[in-house]
Amino acid sequence: MTSYILHGLLLLHGLAACGLFLYGMNCYVMLFLHRRAWKKVLQHEMAVQQTWEASLPQYPRVTVQLPIYNERYVLQRLVEAVARLCYPRAQLEIQILDDSTDETTAMAMPLVERYRHLGFAITLQHRFHRHGYKAGALAAGLTRATGEFIAIFDADFVPAPDFLLRTLPFFRDPSIAMVQTRWGHLNRAYSRLTLAQAFGIDGHFGVEQTARCGAGLFMNFNGSGGVWCRQAIDDAGGWQADTLTEDLDLSYRAQLRGWHLQFVPSVVCPAELPVQMSGVKSQQHRWAKGSIQTAKKLLPHVLQADLPRFTKCQAVLHLTNYLVHPLMLWTALMLPWLSQDAPGSVLHTSLLTTVSIVCATVGPASLYLYAQRQLYPDWLQRLRSLPYLLIFGTGIALSNTKAILEALCNVRGAFVRTPKFRIEHPSDTWVGKHYRAAFSWLSLGELGLAVYSGYGTYLAVHRGAYLLIPFLLLYTLGFAAVAGLSLYEGCQKEVVPHRASCAP
């Protein structure tokens, strides 16, 4: 019986290694597609802009939707940024879609009155429930929207004044459903955690979105910093709340209906990165769970659609990319056990795992490094942030695995929004402010995994499985860092601030 269990575990370990190899190698596919497509994407963007400027510009009616929930620290910054948009006021409508349960609603009222007096068509639409969460708020706002096009900004974003003038020209192509811009970072250098996040986000926008757009593959609206054609939203079935990633869900439904999405890499929409590990976890948990929910919902339709086989394969990898985390976690859990109880399999396990981990680590790392080189003149100085991404990216595997299991088991759960604190400068702090997440007992599991991975490192040294040591050390550091930050945040006290005011 023990032999059967061992062989079963080895088989599962081999399958996990093959999965890691597949997802890792697909990063090189993205790099190849980007190298082939990025000039074409930029040339197309330039041509569209030049045509717009050379002709008599038309200014269609635009509704700007601002979905918010308990955003006392960043609400004013958001509304002021939207009010600075260079666009005829007669053709601009602003909706503050407020589901707040704290002082945010009271703070929004004087802001709305202020900008109404300045000639803006701005409304505050407050719901006394959170039915459908963000998707429900967007759908409710859409029933009152008058715009032909819908721009969406989350509370932590600060769009540039020329945002609409640089995105709307693409809608001259009647097949375009949505235009997505690249996310920037307001507080990239605040901490090692924000450096790691910025590095990862740059990889997605700097390489993946450009590659998918240029190659005609399925891509996605990222939930903020984009503009939708109202007709496309309605044609695709509108906003639906049966997944936690309503943006990804609508994107795929629109593309299945024959619409196209456009990515504009040179238009940057800055946002505030989460500064708490608990905030990063909740954001990643939502993205991981929602992407698997969307995969369960829409992959059967994708596979049945009249699409090239390569497009279908890339859609599968795109929607299931977060499966990397349970695969890595499973590998980390199995290695110490296999090394201890099956000495004869150490060499086989070491070689198999090393190949898969090299692909799963070096592939994404190459993509992230390439993105820095493409996006920033000082890219060499930015490379020092890569270790932070590798550490935090591996340490969050337990939290993301929990999210994926919930999605696979149809565990619903609430939409946990990522708290924002208006952190823009190194001297700013979140300590003592509202919205601190409650302590998560999952942190103790991460701490236990750090100890377990450390024990696995000891076994690898003792058994001579030297190829596994870097991998196990990375997991030891990753789980220890994530658990340590989470426990530290849990010890901070929340101090109730004085009632704020947004009155001019």
Distance set, CA 148 to CA 122, 142, 144, 300 (Å) = 16, 11, 12, 31
Give me the catalytic one of 98, 99, 156, 249. 99
Which pair of structure tokens corresponds to residue 35? 């190298």
Can you give the three-state secondary structure of 238-300, one letter per residue? CCCCCCCCHHHHHHHHHHHCCCEEEEEEEEEEEECCCCCHHHHHHHHHHHHHHHHHHHHHHHH
- Concerning whether 156 is annotated as a catalytic residue, the answer is no
3-class secondary-structure state, position 460: helix
End-to-end CA distance of the chain: 75
Mean pLDDT, contiguous 10-residue spans, the chain (504 residues) = 69 83 94 93 91 85 97 96 97 97 95 96 94 96 97 97 97 97 96 96 96 96 98 98 96 98 97 94 96 98 97 98 94 73 50 68 90 94 94 95 96 84 85 76 94 90 78 93 91 53 36
Q: What distance in Å separates the CA atoms of residue 384 and residue 24, rounded to the nearest whole number?
A: 22
Which position among 98, 156, 202, 247 bears the catalytic label?
247
Contact 138, 239 (CB under 8 A): yes
Cβ neighbours of 268 (radius 10 Å): 18
Residue 236 neighbours by CB distance under 10 Å: 23
Token duo for residue 467: 């190829």
pLDDT at residue 342, rounded to an integer: 46
CA distances from 463 to 12, 329, 345, 347, 457 (A): 22, 21, 11, 10, 10
Distance of alpha carbon 269 from alpha carbon 309, whole angstroms: 34
* Beta strand pairing call for 149-152 and 62-68: parallel
- pTM score of the predicted model: 0.92
Annotated catalytic residue 99: yes
Q: What is the pairing mode between strands 121-126 and 149-152? A: unpaired
CB-based contacts of 352: which residues, under 8 Å, 6+ apart? 13, 14, 17
pLDDT at 497: 44
What pLDDT does residue 419 have?
86
**Angle between helical axes of 2-54 and 346-375 (0-180°, round to 10):** 10
